[in-house]
Structure 1
């Protein structure tokens, strides 16, 4: 079952596009804080005024790599587009454009798969060390 936080963020993204930048920013920050280093790449867009004021700017692109799946989200002019890529050793085998709902579902499934895989690995190490 997907993480509740991911579901809430997905609902918020669909319901209120006026605050889209805020929700994409929150999602990218949560993923960057929760996943291993290198799994999340965030590209920001900053206006001159934002640079001068020291603001980070809005999220222009978010890439999440979990196993052999890379999920990309692009935020341009208040419109969000998603892409799901299957990669092996950095080589893209397939690439598919998807809507936001499908992207969020794929992210939730990938997070659940990664959590299950890590739990199995931890259990194997614990059995080995016992």
Structure 2
């Protein structure tokens, strides 16, 4: 995928990142709907009010496994922790804490790399660029 398209994808992924809770919810939904089953894992945190109202709660953890990378995003109210792991057959070989911008760039690049061979990854990119 051309570098310009990766930059456009990264910009689209950054949209709404100022509100971390909203960002994590939108990103997790779009990725889970677009990528193959098992690629995206989402853990949610639900308050008592959310349970009573039947809402699914806010995203506490988002893990995306693409190629040999696992990109993890953890949220706490007003705070985010991002990590990029290199995995081979489920074994983590390296782990690196990164900032949100670097995490988004890595996610965009991983999606772009996967789009070369996967129609579902291409659909995910088209959804974010639309």
> What range describes the TM-score normalised by the shorter chain of this pair?
0.7 to 0.9
Structure possessing the higher relative contact order (Cα contacts under 8 Å, 6 or more residues apart):
2
1:58 paired with 2:58, answer yes
Which residue pairs with 2:33 in the alignment?
33
Structure showing the higher helix proportion among its residues = 1
Structure 1 runs of 4+ off > 2 angstroms?
A: 1-6
Say what the alpha-carbon RMSD is for the aligned residues: 1.6
For the pair shown, which has the larger CA radius of gyration, 1 or 2?
A: 1
- Shift in Å, 1:117: 2.8
Which runs of 5 or more structure 2 residues have no equivalent in the other structure? Answer: 120-130
- Where do residues 60-99 of structure 1 align in structure 2 (5 Å cutoff)? 60-99=60-99
TM-score by length of 2: 0.82
TM-score by length of 1: 0.82
Q: Residues 82-114 of structure 1, C-alpha deviation per residue, up to 9 Å, x if partnerless?
A: 100000011110000000000000000000000
Structure 1 CA distance for aligned equivalents of residues 91 and 103 of structure 2? 21
- Shift in Å, 1:67: 1.4
Matched residue pairs, number? 115
